[in-house]
Amino acid sequence: MTQRILNASENYAELDAYLRETGAERVLLVCDSALPFLRISGYFDALERRLGVKVVRFDRFQPNPLYESAVEGVRLFREESCDLIIAVGGGSAMDVAKCIKLYAHMDPGINYLEQKIVPNDIPLLAVPTTAGTGSEATRYAVVYYKGEKQSVCDESCIPSAVLMDASVLKTLPAYQKKATMMDAFCHALESFWSVNSTQESKAFAREAIRMILENKDRYLANDDGGNAAMLKAANLAGRAINITQTTAGHAMCYKLTSLYGIAHGHAAALCVAALWPYMTAHVEECVDPRGKGYLRSVFGEIADAMGCTDAQAAIARFQAFLTDLELAPPERKGEGELQLLKTSVNPVRLKNNPVRLDDGALETLYRRILAID
């Protein structure tokens, strides 16, 4: 599927045209709590009066959304006879909207997670409000059921269209801007060295890296052009991980977020900053079937994409970037944390990593991440 990219103008004429083209009459608007503070909120407030398109709002979900929230969204979609879904928000809004789309034509009498997904043609338009997750470009969604993370995966949940609206980043707190940018950067890097990488995924990742580095200062200064470029970079990095999935950098970061209360992108960046030099020093442990020589060449390609002479220079640039952004290691809380962190790592994600990581390697990496002597 070719995803359609719409670039928002001042009056959202592109969105008007898209709605007319789809023939939508009743839109389910899946939105998080930030919507009232965004310029696009006024567009939806006036949509029924202007175009006769009814807007049914659904915001009854939380960060790390529950399966039950998606079920409630499906019920509302059906009761209101909606014919199009628009998701405005970060990763959680995207996850819920994707699940509503996937489940909309499935049997409500059986747990959706236990049913085979049957693709449907319900249009889904995404309006990402952070430049980081890339969720608008992937076939993945996550919900939590009985306290357990449930990954939902199907090509048909990739939004058919994305509205890139730079204005939504204007109100994002500085820390979140930094963390989400680093999430996109890590997506690009991890997809580049993933054992599942392809020429297409590397092309997406290479362009994402270039755009992040070229536009980071304007983006952090809240410049419209910088914000627009970072949205595009995050989308490209999302396209890359849609092909490859993430690697150990992300597999190791989730518990850091919940244990220390730092943002996901902050945690991912700390993990990648430790993982990358470890891998270059342990190429002999390569598990990519393309071999050690290939892996060395990939590290060289990444360095080239970053405008560096070699892998060590690229690593130094990445680590200096973290220091400049003041994304420091969290403060430890007590004993037993290393074991808790090690046992939290999803072994499935480690299979995508090009260098073998055993229990001892994970401990070494977490010690570096937490700056433990």
Q: How confident is the model at residue 64 (pLDDT cuts 50, 70, 90)?
A: confident
Domain ranges of the chain: 4-169, 174-369
Question: Residue 366 and residue 144: Cα distance in Å, rounded?
Answer: 26
The mean pLDDT of 131-154, rounded to a whole number, is: 93
Residue 170, number of CB atoms within 10 A of its CB: 12
- pLDDT at residue 244 is higher than 80: yes
Q: Give the model's pLDDT for residue 50.
A: 96
**Domain 174-369 in CATH 1.20.1090.10:** yes
Q: How confident is the model at residue 360 (pLDDT cuts 50, 70, 90)?
A: very high
% residues pLDDT > 90 (the chain):
92
Q: Give the model's pLDDT for residue 89.
A: 95
Q: What is the pTM assigned to this prediction?
A: 0.95
- pLDDT at residue 334 is higher than 90: no
19-40 per-position pLDDT tens digit: 999 999 999 999 998 899 999 9
Question: Residue 71 and residue 65: Cα distance in Å, rounded?
Answer: 11
**Beta-bridge partner residues of 144:** 66, 149
Q: How confident is the model at residue 228 (pLDDT cuts 50, 70, 90)?
A: very high
**Tokens in use for 112?**
């959706």
- pLDDT at residue 373 is higher than 80: no
Question: Residue 236 and residue 4: Cα distance in Å, rounded?
Answer: 13
Nearest alpha carbon to residue 275 among 325, 336, 330, 318: 318
Question: Residue 284 and residue 295: Cα distance in Å, rounded?
Answer: 10
Task: Name the least confident of 165-174, 187-196, 224-233, 333-342.
Answer: 333-342
CATH number of 4-169: 3.40.50.1970
**Greater model confidence, 53 or 349:** 53
Length of the chain: 373
Tokens 């249009």 belong to residue: 123
Mean confidence (pLDDT) of the chain? 95
Phi, psi angle pair for 155, to nearest 5°: -60, -30
Task: Name the least confident of 122-126, 148-152, 289-293.
Answer: 148-152
Residue 237 neighbours by CB under 8 Å, 6+ apart: 134, 184, 185, 187, 188, 191, 204, 205, 208
Q: How confident is the model at residue 232 (pLDDT cuts 50, 70, 90)?
A: very high
Q: Give the model's pLDDT for residue 197.
A: 98
292-333 per-position pLDDT tens digit: 999 999 999 999 999 999 999 999 999 999 999 999 999 887
Question: Residue 32 and residue 19: Cα distance in Å, rounded?
Answer: 21
70-124 per-position pLDDT tens digit: 999 999 999 999 999 999 999 999 999 999 999 999 999 999 999 999 899 999 9
- pLDDT at residue 1 is higher than 70: no
